[in-house]
Amino acid sequence: MTTTASGKTRVPAIDGWFTTGDEPALLASRCEACGTYVFPPGPTWCPNPACSSTAFDEVRLGRRGRVWSFTDARYQPPPPFRAPEPYEPFAIAAVELVAEQLVVLGQVVGDVGCDDLAVGDEVELVVDTLFEDDDHEYLVWKWKPVATGVDGEGRADG
Partner 1 sequence: MGDDGRRVAVLGAGMHPWGKWGRNFVEYGVKAANDALAEAGLAWTDVQFVAGADTIRNGYPGYVAGATFAQALGWNGTRVSSSYAACASGAQAIDSARTQILAGRCDVALVVGADTTPKGFFAPVGGERKADPDWLRFYLVGATNPTYFALYARRRMACYGATDADFAAVKVKNARHGAANPNARYRTPVTAEEVLASPMVADPLRLLEICATSDGGAALVLTSLEFARRHGHAEPVTVEAVSTVTPTFPQGRLEMPDLATDSAVAVPSGRRRFTAAVVQAAYDEAGVGPDDVDVAEVYDLSSALELDWYEDLGLCKEGEAERLLTDGDTTVGGRVPVNPSGGLSCFGEAIPAQAIAQVCELTWQLRGAAAGRQVEGARLGVTANQGLFGHGSSVVLRR
Q: Which residues are near partner 1 by CB under 8 A?
A: 13-14, 31, 34-40, 47-51, 68-75, 77-81, 83, 90, 92, 94, 100-107, 114, 118-120, 130, 140
Nearer to partner 1, 5 or 43 (CB): 43
Phi, psi dihedral angles at 142 (to 5 degrees): -140, 165
Minimum separation from the CB atom of position 8 to partner 1 (A)? 19
Nearer to partner 1, 103 or 126 (CB): 103
CA dist 75 and 72 (Å) reads 9
CA dist 63 and 67 (Å) reads 13
Burial 92-103 (b: 16+ CB within 10 A, else e): bbbbbbeebebb
Minimum separation from the CB atom of position 39 to partner 1 (A)? 4
